[in-house]
């Protein structure tokens, strides 16, 4: 028989060749006996750490009782328990929920809800955004052409506004916010009339697009423009949600009140569960039967998600994310002083990006990649992101201790020194 790895589709763009045996907390252990500090969280998923005992226990207890309770056919207790937990997590106006499996599916649900409930066809997204890989969601992706190249034509009715990424423009925060809001208004005046625009969809902090915290006042301005024009505001919190930024959701840092919030990844600690939260009146305008799915809101996934939310609260993981995030950014900024290849350190909580830039101010993918590689060889798993692959993203589990962080920083510092040499 041939090597089964060779029978896996090459469409999976592989970062590493690690063959994982098991994982626990902040560590992944490979089949060849190596230990890696996992600061990728499986792309922002295992926020409670790998195989948190309470999440494992909840899933194991559920699996022997009911695996699949199809949502059109029955109510099941794990979904009702999850709803009860989510009611405590979300602001009171986001009191109605729909569940699906992947992030892209949940984004699609948010768009279908927005179109169906408003009767308007168009959507506005932002430069640098990533919302998924289905035909609908790839039509919303603007972080890199790889997501759409070879798949055109895309879904029509999508319009792109600039995201307030001051470092990219090389402008002050104030100038950037002013320009981007002006362009958003211009888009509504020139390309998609407000009465034809169902929703503005935004990642409050760009994920795949480079871990970019928008310049001050931008998100509030976007919300104001949405309200003025009766356009729905959808926050894609798939990567930035569930404690990642030191709040339950990133939109809370900016005082926003989105009409729809999209969640996945950290929601269920690794089980494929996603969903959207919205006002009940809005959900009531969604034509019953016009959306759904066989597996959405799987019972084991919901039990794991309920345990995840409880663990986050009981173990103070959001507070830990905020505290460790401050320490992480301070340390990374200290290293920025010593290594000129680092152009910017930015982020909130444990969602932190380090942008590598050449001496002439261009994106420096080679250095980011070399540092990333050196870290991997020395037992620290990180990820890159950004249109030009020149941002190293830090997404450790929210359970990390000072010791974990110190170990990671010392590997990273050695990597920077090696690459600078
Ligand atoms: C902000 C954001 N939206 C949507 C998605 C798509 O999620 P999934 O890969 O689960 O479909 C991702 C995945 O990285 C994401 O980061």
Render pLDDT for 400-416 as a digit per residue (tens, 0 to 9).
999 999 999 999 999 99
Domain match, 62 and 110 both:
yes
Band (pLDDT 50/70/90 cuts) for residue 1 is confident
Q: Quote the pLDDT of residue 11.
A: 96
- Residue where a domain stops, chosen among 265, 290, 314: 314
- Alpha-carbon span 120 to 360, nearest angstrom: 45
What separation in Å is there between the alpha carbon of 132 and the centre of ligand 1? 5
Q: Per-residue b/e over 290-310, b at no fewer than 16 CB within 10 Å?
A: eeeeeebbbbbbbbbbbbbbb
CATH number at residue 119: 3.40.640.10
Whole-number Å distance between alpha carbons of 86 and 95: 8
Hey, whose CA ends up nearest to atom 7 of ligand 1?
103
Q: What is the pLDDT of residues 305-327, one digit of tens each?
A: 999 999 999 999 999 999 999 99
- Give the residue among 163, 136, 138, 160 at the shortest CA–CA distance from 150: 138
Contact 250, 265 (CB under 8 A): no
Q: Domain residues for 124?
A: 53-314
Residue 238: the pLDDT is 98
Residue 421 is predicted with a pLDDT of 87
Mutating to test ligand 1, I would choose from 105, 237, 264 the residue with most ligand atoms within 8 A of its C-beta, which is 264
Give tens-digit pLDDT for 42-61. Answer: 999 999 999 999 999 999 99
- Split at pLDDT 50, 70, 90, the class of 33 is very high
> How many angstroms separate the CA atoms of 242 and 125, rounded?
22
Gap from CA of 417 to ligand 1 centroid (Å): 33
Tokens of 195: 């009465």
Statement: residue 132 has pLDDT above 90: yes
Do 163 and 65 sit in the same domain of this protein? yes
Return the biggest CA–CA distance within the chain. Answer: 64
Identify whether 359 is preceded by a cis peptide bond (ω within 30 of 0).
no
Average pLDDT, whole number, for the chain?
Answer: 98
Whether the CB-CB separation of 419 and 52 falls below 8 Å is answered with: no
Residues 30 and 159 in one domain: no
- Express each pLDDT in 254-299 by its tens digit: 999 999 999 999 999 999 999 999 999 999 999 999 999 999 999 9
On whether both 236 and 188 belong to a single domain, the answer is yes
Percentage of the chain modeled with pLDDT above 70:
100
For position 384, which CATH number holds? 3.90.1150.10
Contacts of 360 (CB under 8 A, 6+ apart): none
Identify which of 51, 26, 21 has the alpha carbon closest to the alpha carbon of residue 36. Answer: 26
Centre of ligand 1 from the C-alpha of residue 42, in Å: 12
Instruction: Give the chain's domain count.
Output: 2
Q: In what order do the strands lie in the sheet with 20-24?
A: 20-24, 27-30, 35-38, 380-381
260 with 325, same domain: the answer is no
Determine how many CB atoms are found less than 10 A away from the CB of residue 319. 14
Q: What pLDDT digit, counting tens, does each position of 363-402 carry?
A: 999 999 999 999 999 999 999 999 999 999 999 999 999 9
Residue 275 shares a structural domain with residue 384: no
pLDDT band at 336 (very low <50, low <70, confident <90, very high): very high
Mean pLDDT of 145-155: 97
Q: Are residues 326 and 336 in the same domain?
A: yes
Q: Using the atom order of ligand 1, give the atom closest to the CA of residue 134.
A: 11
Residues 307 and 371 in one domain: no
At residue 237, the pLDDT reads 98
For 24, other C-beta atoms within 10 Å of its C-beta total 13
Domain boundary at 288, 314, 340, which? 314
Same domain, residue pair 366 and 291? no
Whether 254 and 302 map to the same domain: the answer is: yes
- If one residue of 103, 128, 296 were mutated to test the ligand 1 pocket, choosing by the most ligand atoms within 8 A of its CB, it would be 103
Which one of 292, 314, 336 terminates a domain? 314
């Amino acid at each position: 028989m041939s090597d089964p790895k060779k029978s896996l589709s090459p469409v999976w763009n592989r970062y590493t060749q690690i063959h994982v045996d098991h994982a626990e907390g902040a560590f992944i252990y490979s089949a060849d006996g190596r230990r890696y500090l996992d600061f990728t969280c499986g792309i922002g998923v295992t926020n409670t750490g790998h195989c948190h005992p309470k999440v494992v226990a909840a899933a194991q207890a559920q699996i022997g009782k009911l695996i699949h309770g199809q949502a059109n056919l029955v109510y099941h207790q794990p979904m009702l328990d999850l709803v009860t937990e989510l009611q405590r997590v979300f602001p009171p106006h986001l009191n109605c929920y729909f569940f699906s499996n992947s992030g892209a599916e949940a984004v699609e649900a948010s768009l279908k809800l927005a179109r169906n409930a408003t009767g308007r066809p168009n959507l506005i997204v932002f430069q640098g955004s990533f919302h998924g890989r289905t035909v609908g969601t790839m039509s919303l992706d603007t972080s890199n052409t790889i997501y759409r190249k070879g798949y055109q034509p895309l879904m029509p009715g999508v319009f792109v506004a600039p995201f307030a990424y001051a470092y990219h423009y090389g402008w002050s925060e104030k100038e950037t916010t002013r320009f981007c809001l002006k362009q958003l208004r211009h888009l509504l005046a020139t390309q998609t009339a407000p009465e034809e625009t169902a929703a503005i969809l935004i990642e409050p902090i760009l994920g795949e697009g480079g871990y970019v915290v928008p310049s001050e006042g931008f998100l509030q301005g976007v919300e104001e423009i949405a309200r003025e024009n009766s356009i729905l505001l959808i926050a894609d919190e798939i990567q930035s949600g569930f404690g990642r930024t030191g709040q339950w959701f990133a939109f809370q840092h900016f005082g926003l009140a989105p009409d729809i919030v999209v969640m996945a990844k950290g929601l269920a600690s690794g089980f494929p569960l996603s969903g959207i939260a919205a006002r009940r009146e809005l959900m009531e305008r969604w034509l019953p039967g016009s959306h759904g799915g066989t597996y959405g809101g799987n019972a084991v996934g919901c039990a794991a998600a309920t345990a995840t939310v409880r663990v986050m609260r009981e173990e103070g993981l959001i507070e830990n994310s905020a505290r460790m995030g401050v320490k992480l950014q301070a340390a990374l900024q200290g290293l920025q002083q010593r290594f000129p290849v680092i152009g910017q350190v930015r982020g909130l909580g444990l969602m932190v990006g380090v942008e590598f830039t050449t001496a002439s101010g261009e994106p420096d993918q080679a250095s980011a990649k070399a540092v990333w590689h050196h870290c991997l060889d020395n037992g620290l798993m990180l990820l890159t992101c950004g249109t030009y692959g020149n941002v190293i993203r830090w997404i450790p589990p929210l359970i990390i201790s000072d010791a974990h962080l110190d170990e990671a920083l010392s590997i990273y510092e050695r990597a920077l020194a090696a690459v600078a040499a």
